[in-house]
Amino acid sequence: MSDKQVFIFDTTLRDGEQVPGCKLNHKEKLKVAKGIEALGVDVLEAGFPISSPGDFQAVELISKEIREPIICALSRAVEADVKCAAEALKHAQRPRIHTGIGTSEQHIKYKFKSSPEGIIERAKAAVKYAKSFVEDVEFFAEDAGRTDNVYLAKVIEAVISAGATVVNIPDTTGYCLPYEYGHKIAFLKEHVKNIDKVIISAHCHNDLGLATANSLVGVEHGVRQIECTLNGIGERAGNTSLEEVVMVLKQKYKSKYFTNINTQMLNPLSRLVSESMSMPVQANKAIVGENAFAHSSGIHQDGVIKNRLNYEIINPLDVGVDKSQIVLTARSGRAALAYRAKEVGYELSKDELDIAYRQFIQLADRKKQVESYELETMLSQSFRMVNV
Ligand code: KIV
Ligand code: ZN
């Protein structure tokens, strides 16, 4: 295992699918799972089998049909959950049980009405029980983001000695600042015995818009698995967005880290997830939003037409977008008009462009955006197409 590899753990079908309105039937779930497999993820979290008979069957189906990634199923630190997860995973080529419990003072007192010692006992017992079914057991310390680091280190050390192969440090409530999350991982690296024998995983939520930043700072301090979802869907404000972390690693950390993700599939798969879950992607979403490669102001359009790199830090082809768009609005300039006119078959001289621009700007002022067919209609009234 290379120390440079960051494993991608996709939880679109578990943390993502549990969002109201995002529920999929088995056929849809399998179709998305096949897409996620083709994307090249290392781990696919298929569901939470004890939560419903439907989810149990979905995890079972995915375990039978999806052979490349590790198939993971969620369970609480409860024997019946763990047993059910193991059962649902029994056909998986490489099964992983993901079990855990809340470790913050808030969760210990008000969710479990337990004690710090009691939680450690339950955590160890769940991991040991999961180990009786599968070799690969991931432990999550829910609300680790708000857990005292000294206590968290004790919990993590205990579950490693009980046999955990991966330790997940979730910022469940999205409360950490990047330096706090980074410090937490560094603290565990320094204080937990045998931490180097396991994979540290980041599972960050986006309540303050910091999930991507937190996951990446985690990587700088020793995280080697990122839990994320396509389009960043998930509880409340969502989970870390898969496309964002993967592209940041590719664009900014090329010489330090790599993932197995086939980035050209990011946009097609984002659309599949959005359409199957009826969950629109915001237009200005990084990497997969409709406007992520659209240029609309005159200054930017002129710059991009001269040289794409003036305003683009990602090649659209790298993420499965055919080409960037020059969008015609009342803020567009002559360069954009000439460029789009050429696309629809009009090569305009300088004088023609001046005339066309005056007509265009009047049209554009009446509209949010001028579409190709409207441009064609406008140009056809005054000019001749080339080669016609
Ligand atoms: O956010 C969280 O803590 C979780 C765990 C169940 C891993 O989703
Ligand atoms: Zn979560």
Ligand approaching nearest to the C-alpha of 100:
1
Q: pLDDT per residue over 224-247, tens digit each? A: 999 999 999 999 999 999 999 999
Q: Decide: 7 in ligand 1 pocket, CB within 6 A.
A: no
pLDDT score of 2: 84
Look at residue 286 and tell me if it is in a domain. Answer: no
The number of distinct structural domains making up the chain is 2
Q: Decide: 47 in ligand 1 pocket, CB within 6 A.
A: no
Clarify whether residues 249 and 352 are in a common domain.
Answer: no
Q: pLDDT per residue over 35-89, tens digit each? A: 999 999 999 999 999 999 999 999 999 999 999 999 999 999 999 999 999 999 9
Clarify whether residues 206 and 351 are in a common domain.
Answer: no
Q: Decide: 15 in ligand 1 pocket, CB within 6 A.
A: yes
d(CA 54, ligand 1 centre) in Å: 20
- Single residue among 243, 276, 309 that ends a domain in this structure: 276
Decide if pLDDT at 1 tops 90. Answer: no
Pocket test for ligand 1, best of 172, 176, 207 (most atoms within 8 A of CB): 172
Q: Decide: 203 in ligand 1 pocket, CB within 6 A.
A: yes
Please report, for the domain that includes residue 178, its CATH number. Answer: 3.20.20.70
Query: Residue 332's closest CA among 295, 306, 277, 305?
Result: 295
Pocket test for ligand 1, best of 12, 78, 137, 142 (most atoms within 8 A of CB): 142
Look at residue 186 and tell me if it is in a domain. Answer: yes
> What percentage of the chain exceeds 70 in pLDDT?
99
Question: How far apart are the two ends of the chain, measured CA to CA in Å?
Answer: 61
Ligand 1 atom closest to the CA of 227, numbered from 1 = 7
Decide if pLDDT at 352 tops 60. Answer: yes
Pocket test for ligand 1, best of 140, 146, 215, 236 (most atoms within 8 A of CB): 140
Ligand approaching nearest to the C-alpha of 140:
1
Look at residue 2 and tell me if it is in a domain. Answer: no
Mean pLDDT of the chain: 97
Clarify whether residues 123 and 214 are in a common domain.
Answer: yes
Assigned token pair, 331 = 């803020």
The amino acid occupying position 31 is: K
Clarify whether residues 268 and 303 are in a common domain.
Answer: no
Look at residue 285 and tell me if it is in a domain. Answer: no
Q: pLDDT per residue over 182-211, tens digit each? A: 999 999 999 999 999 999 999 999 999 999
Decide if pLDDT at 177 tops 90. Answer: yes
Clarify whether residues 246 and 300 are in a common domain.
Answer: no
Q: Decide: 174 in ligand 1 pocket, CB within 6 A.
A: no
Clarify whether residues 266 and 348 are in a common domain.
Answer: no
Clarify whether residues 72 and 100 are in a common domain.
Answer: yes
User: Domain span at residue 172?
Assistant: 7-276
Decide if pLDDT at 366 tops 60. Answer: yes
Ligand 1 atom closest to the CA of 168, numbered from 1 = 7
Q: What is the mean pLDDT of residues 326-343?
A: 96
d(CA 361, ligand 2 centre) in Å: 48
Look at residue 287 and tell me if it is in a domain. Answer: no
d(CA 25, ligand 1 centre) in Å: 23
Clarify whether residues 198 and 336 are in a common domain.
Answer: no
pLDDT score of 388: 53
d(CA 276, ligand 2 centre) in Å: 21
Decide if pLDDT at 386 tops 90. Answer: no
Task: Look at ligand 1, atom 1, and give the residue with the nearest C-alpha.
Answer: 172
Q: Decide: 244 in ligand 1 pocket, CB within 6 A.
A: no
Name the residues around ion ligand 2, CB cutoff 5 A: 15
Decide if pLDDT at 387 tops 80. Answer: no
pLDDT confidence bin for 274, thresholds 50/70/90: very high
Look at residue 357 and tell me if it is in a domain. Answer: yes
Q: Decide: 17 in ligand 1 pocket, CB within 6 A.
A: no
Clarify whether residues 29 and 159 are in a common domain.
Answer: yes
Q: Decide: 45 in ligand 1 pocket, CB within 6 A.
A: no
With tokens 């569901």, the residue in question is 47
Clarify whether residues 136 and 225 are in a common domain.
Answer: yes
pLDDT score of 20: 85
Q: What is the mean pLDDT of residues 102-109?
A: 98
